Amino acid sequence: MGLFTSTEFDSLECLFVDQIQDIYDAEQRLTKALPKMAEAATDPQLKAAFSSHLTETEGQVHRLEKVFEMLGKDAKTKTCDAMKGLISEGEEMINAKGDEHVRDAALIAAAQRVEHYEIAAYGTARQLATRLGRSDIARLLQETLDEEGAADRKLTSIAEASVNPQAAHA
């Protein structure tokens, strides 16, 4: 949101559409960032986790397009400044030099911040959909929320079981 413009929210539906446009932008940015994360990862499980979450993320973009359709609105993005920032922190990890295991741990650190941001965004959006009487849309958003939660837990288990123990020897 620029300095000289202001947003107006007259209804919960307005806010809901705004939130969906923000997530739609965020997910599209992630479809471009995740291949670079997968490429940068050394641990084979971590590489695979990024690749499979890329496939899920592409599905999440389509799910949001379905949400727009269900709302009778054109699929539109609103720049997600938060995701831009999280991805630029991810780029820093991608471009970092040093021990490969510590670099993997750094990629996980950046990726989990992303997943937690998405979990917050989808949790809010799902509740707004429910409040607006759109349990059909809430169900779709819950599917994505479940995927984000699973992706986050997967990263935790890779960190705990594989990456961090090796990184500790650097």
User: For binding to Zn ion (CB under 5 A), which residues are involved?
Assistant: 22, 80, 82
Amino acid at 38: A
**Which of Fe ion, Zn ion, none binds 60 (CB below 5-8 Å, type-dependent)?**
Fe ion
Q: Round to whole Å and give the CA distance between 155 and 58.
A: 19
- What would the x/- binding string for Fe ion be over residues 96 to 135, using CB under 5 A? ----------------------x-----------------
> Which DSSP symbol is given to 11?
S
Of 22, 43, 104, 148, which lies in the binding site for Fe ion, with binding defined by CB under 5 A? Answer: 148
> Of 22-41, which residues contact Fe ion (CB under 5 A)?
27
Q: Which residue has the tokens 């409040």?
A: 131
**Which of Zn ion, Fe ion, none binds 148 (CB below 5-8 Å, type-dependent)?**
Fe ion
How many C-beta atoms surround the C-beta of residue 12 within 10 A?
Answer: 12
Closer to Zn ion at the Cβ: 105 or 145?
Answer: 145
Cβ proximity of 136 and 69 under 8 Å:
no
Closer to Fe ion at the Cβ: 101 or 151?
Answer: 151
Category of 79 on φ-ψ map: left (φ > 0), alpha (ψ -120 to 50) or beta:
beta
Residues within the interface to Fe ion (CB under 5 A): 27, 57, 60, 118, 148
